[in-house]
Amino acid sequence: MTKKLKVILNGVPLSVDTGISLETLLSDHPHPGKLPALGAIVNKSSKGLYYVLNTNSEIETIDLSHREGMDIYRRTASMILYAAVRRLYPQMKLTVGQSMSSTAYFFDIEGERAGAQFAAEVSKEMKKIISDDVPIEVDWLSAEEAIELFERVNAYDKSRLINQMRNSEVPVAHLCDYVGIQHGPLASHTSLINTFSLEPYEHGLVLVFPDDNGKLAKGIPPQPKLFGVYRETKRWNELVKTRHVADLNDHCVNGGISDLIKVTEALHEKKIASISDYVAEREGVKLLLVAGPSSSGKTTFTKRLSIQLKVHGIEPVAISLDDYYLPNYETPKHEDGTPNFETIDALDVPLLNRHLAALMNGEEVNVPVYHFNNGSRNPHETKPLRLKEGQILIMEGIHGLNRDLSKSVPDHAKYKIYVSALTQLCIDDHSRIFTTDTRLCRRIIRDRLFRGTNAAETIAMWSSVRNGEAKYIFPFQEDADVIFNSAFIYEHALLKPYAERYLMEVDHNHPSFMEASRLVRFFSYFIPILESEIPPNSLLREFIGKSSFKY
């Protein structure tokens, strides 16, 4: 007699047979959303619809409107792209690149240049695979079987990674003639991925996904500066012979990690020095604006840039945007009534612009002092400030690239710098490391070490932080004079011991548990390195401590 399981599906209690798949379960109990179900959260873990139930479970079905559902959609659409290219051009090497927007990935074609005809051919083949409603199969193979399989198809990026992992079994996904490691849940059938566009971009392709409403964006706006950073970082990675996690792990095991760290840090220093050269060469620059998303390392970057400017005889003077926050009673509020400090309207922009104009004219201003503990500015507590000969004003903050923030200063007198951790290291040729994961892990470690906030709390507020970045930072990144990539190719190996330690503190019943568990699984790919190798002026010291700078 088949054992019965007790499950709660979307709030409805049911009794079902052991071994039933989520897909079969949904055939009698449809997903309640307007968009098709792509997977489900089963006992606080994201699963594909092919997942088979063997325990009593709480189940919430997910679609594109859920973050986890969107991940499934993008992962599966990318797999369909790989399968289509393999079918049309079996010898072509296609690798995943950077995120071009919140709804698009760039794909690099090695030794080739994509054009409109090529994109159209591949797109047509993808649509055929989708219309054929091909099932996506996931098999668990022994590590030895998986290594042999991937070596047989020359996928050494995957076989080497499996060899480094300490798993006895590996989930392998199959679609048509394509095989890959299942790094996260996939859709059960290709027909679920029915909305996409594929466009030629630079020398590769851009795969555009629908948004959380199922709508497809029309085209990708040109992003020459952001793409220039991608090319630069790719050259850096090639210089240290590290494209994938397996390459990084090899450096750790074979004793090459020390040199890799030194070269990576030197590349950062050289880039910062070149930015200071640009500033020194541009006549009339009196204001440096440094902007970027949370945990991108803006503070340490600014300190290191200040040192390089002094080499040119330029004395930087910092002005803090924090001191221009409005009193709490004037601060805009979120829907839940809490202060919204991320919007530019939380700042006293008119006062700031009056002060900037006066400073540019050599006048003295009285900078306010904002107290976060009570959300107020004391009108009798100010700091006098005047720019002297040979000095330059530096202002760091998330709104630095917003024209309204410094509209009283003419464009020729400003130099705008965008700082972000644009991770280019990949798990393997076909699996990205999310840039936002890098910044989230930096913030989890910094907040836990220095700000009295645990990982569960940091994870809980991260979606609000990201929403603010999407509104107030990312739209302005191409307006920067220069983009500095603050990511380090070795940093996940460094962050691993800290992140795992603090993520393990998240209670099983906390809403952040599922995300914490996902990040713990992510760090399992990496071999850790010790912080003793990291120089004291490294940007990463801002997050792990023992920096030679004071914060």
Look at residue 305 in the predicted model and tell me its pLDDT: 97
Average pLDDT score over residue span 372-383 = 83
Residue 3 has pLDDT above 90, yes or no: no
Contact 66, 185 (CB under 8 A): no
Contact 417, 275 (CB under 8 A): yes
Q: What is the pLDDT of the chain when averaged over all its residues?
A: 94
Average pLDDT score over residue span 412-422 = 96
The DSSP line for 64-108 is: TTSHHHHHHHHHHHHHHHHHHHHHH-TT--EEEEEEEETTEEEEE
Q: Which whole-number Å values give the CA distances from 221 to 199, 226, 318, 358, in the listed order?
A: 12, 11, 34, 37
Q: Of the candidates 63, 79, 99, which is a domain's last residue?
A: 63
Residue 341 has pLDDT above 90, yes or no: no
DSSP secondary structure code for residue 210 in this structure: B
Report the distance separating Cα 499 and Cα 502, nearest Å: 5
Lowest mean pLDDT among 226-235, 302-311, 326-335, 486-495: 326-335
DSSP secondary structure code for residue 29 in this structure: S
Contact 35, 214 (CB under 8 A): yes
Instruction: Please indicate, yes or no, if residue 460 is contained in any of the structural domains.
Output: yes
Q: Which whole-number Å values give the CA distances from 256 to 56, 165, 177, 293, 491, in the listed order?
A: 48, 19, 36, 32, 15
Provide the percentage of residues in the chain whose pLDDT is more than 70. 99
Strand-strand pairing, 137-142 and 169-175? antiparallel
Instruction: Please indicate, yes or no, if residue 249 is contained in any of the structural domains.
Output: yes
Residue 220 has pLDDT above 90, yes or no: no
**Taking Cα atoms as reference points, which of 166, 266, 205, 210 lies closest to residue 527?**
166
Residue 23 has pLDDT above 90, yes or no: yes
Our count of domains for the chain comes to 2
* Cβ-proximal residues to 550 (8 Å cutoff; 6+ apart), any chain: none
φ/ψ (deg, to 5) at 52: -105, 135
Cα Rg for the chain, rounded, in angstroms?
25
pLDDT classification of 79: cutoffs 50, 70, 90: very high
pLDDT classification of 551: cutoffs 50, 70, 90: confident
Q: What is the domain-level CATH number for residue 437?
A: 3.40.50.300
pLDDT, one tens digit per residue, over 224-258 is 999 999 999 999 999 999 999 999 999 999 999 99
Instruction: Please indicate, yes or no, if residue 206 is contained in any of the structural domains.
Output: no
pLDDT, one tens digit per residue, over 483-526 is 999 999 999 999 999 999 999 999 999 999 999 999 999 999 99
Look at residue 378 in the predicted model and tell me its pLDDT: 82
Lowest mean pLDDT among 298-312, 326-340, 499-513: 326-340
Q: Which two tokens stand for residue 464?
A: 């609000």
Better-predicted residue by pLDDT, 265 or 98 = 265
Q: What is the domain-level CATH number for residue 50?
A: 3.10.20.30
Average pLDDT score over residue span 413-426 = 94
Instruction: Please indicate, yes or no, if residue 169 is contained in any of the structural domains.
Output: no
pLDDT, one tens digit per residue, over 195-213 is 999 999 888 999 999 999 9
Q: Of the candidates 63, 85, 105, which is a domain's last residue?
A: 63
Look at residue 1 in the predicted model and tell me its pLDDT: 58
Instruction: Please indicate, yes or no, if residue 176 is contained in any of the structural domains.
Output: no
Look at residue 180 in the predicted model and tell me its pLDDT: 97
Alpha-carbon torsion 532, 533, 536, 541, what sign? negative
Look at residue 39 in the predicted model and tell me its pLDDT: 97
Look at residue 115 in the predicted model and tell me its pLDDT: 86
Residue 111 has pLDDT above 80, yes or no: no
Instruction: Please indicate, yes or no, if residue 263 is contained in any of the structural domains.
Output: yes
Report the distance separating Cα 378 and Cα 38, nearest Å: 54
Instruction: Please indicate, yes or no, if residue 110 is contained in any of the structural domains.
Output: no
pLDDT, one tens digit per residue, over 266-279 is 999 999 999 999 99
Tell me if residue 215 falls in helix, strand or coil.
coil
Residue 309 structural domain: 225-544
Residue 373 has pLDDT above 90, yes or no: no
Alpha-helix residue ranges (DSSP H) falling in 282-348 = 298-311
pLDDT, one tens digit per residue, over 116-142 is 999 999 999 999 999 999 999 999 999
Contact 198, 126 (CB under 8 A): yes
Look at residue 257 in the predicted model and tell me its pLDDT: 96
Tell me if residue 146 falls in helix, strand or coil.
helix
Q: Of the candidates 14, 36, 63, which is a domain's last residue?
A: 63
Average pLDDT score over residue span 166-179 = 95
pLDDT classification of 113: cutoffs 50, 70, 90: confident
Instruction: Please indicate, yes or no, if residue 85 is contained in any of the structural domains.
Output: no
What's the pTM value of the predicted model, to 2 decimals? 0.93
Q: Which two tokens stand for residue 79?
A: 């797999």
Segment (H or E) for 269? helix 257-281
Better-predicted residue by pLDDT, 373 or 527 = 527
